[in-house]
A and B are shown apart, each in its own frame.
Chain A
């Protein structure tokens, strides 16, 4: 057995009293495709930065080729043969493909003048090594994400690395592009290069890797050959879900009122089509599928962001027209977006402001806001959503991920919403908060009669909370699984079958 290429032994890392990594040990063999799994905030990016020398560990050691290698700097790790491809690829969108490829070489050789012929040659060689064809003179931003990723990989391979670290490489790739990527990854592996694949997408992990290490809250909670994992066990390990948690089921009343939300032939050209979705008051319906299936677009369309939609939408039996976000809100539809920080919160503003952001219009008498009433409402919501803070006057950026998510959800509950669309409601939220948020959502459905559409990749979350799980693929609904009959394993299988 050859010695492992790189070994992390009992690595710890603190940041201002917070333990980002706690006694983490990780082994990567030569020519191995290893996956590092974990949710946002689990410590994945910290590990990458430790391996690549950006951070120095506070405890433990890094062993490369059997010999301790400390201290590491970004330059010495490249000398050891480690290359990292970050999520943003660190490329220059306004420069050409050729230039992006050759830039590091030119810079490292401390050249003053640019020899374009040399640049071209270097670029051609780099692409040839990868075995791909790309237009060298194209501006990088004219390429799709998959093309830019190829450039990033080609550039990384130029230094003959032994370990290639890829941070969330399949974000924003279509299924077909993921397959192409995996082909290249296997090709790279066949040349003896190890790949550390950092991800939270279980299906892809299972498909490509040979070993999986799962991180949660800075600790290794599981490690082993891929054959011994499946979707459910990985998710469990990543999220720490308690298998014995109560599940929520909605039972159809004897004389059911008209469905809260009913769509027929709902579609937006190019994004999704022919969606017939029915949600009753008190029901939580789950929606899942592969990336690019159209789930987020469906949610945004329900929120009025695609005025040129086809098909009909009925709310409580009445036909409605959702031509704008204001229309949707007026009809009682609320949308909690995926990207909490970028799309959900006003980070520089206070918790109160964030909670009240959609309500100021309603709180105004004769044009002026009734601040007493506003404060009452936001205080009540802080209590109601159990947001852990002494005062609503703090900037919302100071809250934890879970509490921030409660703020975003709480914002909508100010205004008698009838339909709640949640996109990834517990992504990047720590385990304790997750359970609390789930409880809150169920409570809203059961007692306030909200109709809930929950979009998620987290199979246990879906199975525990939803009475039905709808699967979407390439813009269409393809499966409708009642959770009374479906187990997590079944749902996972059906998802895997989507190709």
Chain B
């Protein structure tokens, strides 16, 4: 089998292709432009968070604190904006990203200094942050009439606008560009910088990475801070796109994100994974969630479908990784 076919990215790409074709056959009206646009838009938030989790996973760790960091960064930034009456886009996003990054430092510290299992560390920090946010800062929603208009305006930017025959307008959100840009950035970091190679090296063999001369501490801080930063950014973008800030949202999203990253071919043991694969994994997840709507299947089947796909995908990966397990 040629190396191209053996790559997990190719496999999942084919799966997606087949799924798209099948859906088109079942319901030819499914693949109208409006659906496609909304499908692409739905990729953005999960995708940005997945990029961070991917990086941590490749390094041999795991990060399940992402959605909680996202919400915390979002809420703090929004409250800051509301209290100071600030109106702008760049600064809030920078602030949210920085907050996420600082929270990521917390993760890195415990994983590196205390040598604790990343699963437990990020569980602890995620719980702490969520508890602090909801318990101290507040649980109040911020709905659309209070949302800073600058943010809403920014997230409503579109690339393409069409007026449908029935009078409705559909738009292709410009946030896709942001997602793609971030994906490209992470890809370049992972593939073309030494610290990126250090992420792969560390995930492959931490001790060997140390001996080869990689600064394992620096790499650890890099991956968790990147994950936190992307989480913070995603959090603020999420509320900008959904016009509603509920600090309880996104809870549980860490499972979806993890599933997407693993679906995309990343190994939970570390050392393997790619941005392309993750994007395909996120796309698959979103496709499953949305295709059911498109196919007029009750949305209550969404979770079942996601569950089945995760099981099927991980069973296949288990087959691939079986030598490691033996």
Chain A residues packing against B (C-beta within 8 Å): 88, 90-95, 99, 103-104, 106-108, 111-114, 116, 137
Contacts and interface: CB of A to CB of B under 8 A. Distances in A.
Nearest to B6: A142
B213 A108 contact: yes
Nearest to A92: B204
A94 B212 contact: no
Given A91-B205, A94-B267, 10 more contacts: A90-B207, A94-B204, A95-B197, A95-B200, A103-B197, A103-B212, A104-B213, A107-B212, A107-B214, A114-B191
A113 B214 contact: no
A453 B278 CA distance: 53
B204 A93 contact: yes
A92 B209 contact: yes
B197 A94 contact: no
Chain A binding surface, main DSSP class: loop
B272 interface: yes
B119 interface: no
A112 B194 contact: yes
Given A90-B208, A92-B209, A106 B200 contact: no
B193 A114 contact: yes
A113 B204 CA distance: 20
B194 A107 contact: yes
A92 B271 contact: yes
Interface string B195-210: 1110011011101110
A137 B211 CA distance: 23
B131 to A, nearest CB: 34
B161 to A, nearest CB: 39
Contacts of B191: 114
Contacts of A93: 204-205, 271
Interface of B: 3, 191-197, 200-201, 203-205, 207-209, 211-214, 267, 270-272
A113 B194 contact: yes
Contact of B193 (A94, A99, A112, A137): A112
Contacts of A90: 205, 207-208, 211-212
Contact of B192 (A99, A114, A137): A114
Nearest to A138: B3
B208 A91 contact: yes
Contacts of B193: 112-114
A88 B204 CA distance: 13
> 8 shortest A-B CB distances, which residue pairs?
A94-B271, A94-B204, A107-B213, A92-B204, A90-B208, A114-B192, A92-B201, A94-B272
Contact of B208 (A88, A99, A111, A114): A88
Contacts of A103: 197, 201, 212
Contacts of B271: 92-94
Contacts of A137: 3
Nearest to A115: B192
A95 B201 contact: yes
B205 to A, nearest CB: 6
B205 A92 contact: yes
21 contacts: A90-B208, A91-B205, A92-B200, A92-B208, A92-B212, A93-B205, A94-B200, A94-B203, A94-B267, A95-B201, A99-B197, A103-B212, A107-B194, A107-B212, A107-B213, A112-B194, A112-B195, A113-B192, A114-B194, A114-B196, A137-B3
Nearest to A93: B204
Nearest to A108: B213
A117 to B, nearest CB: 12
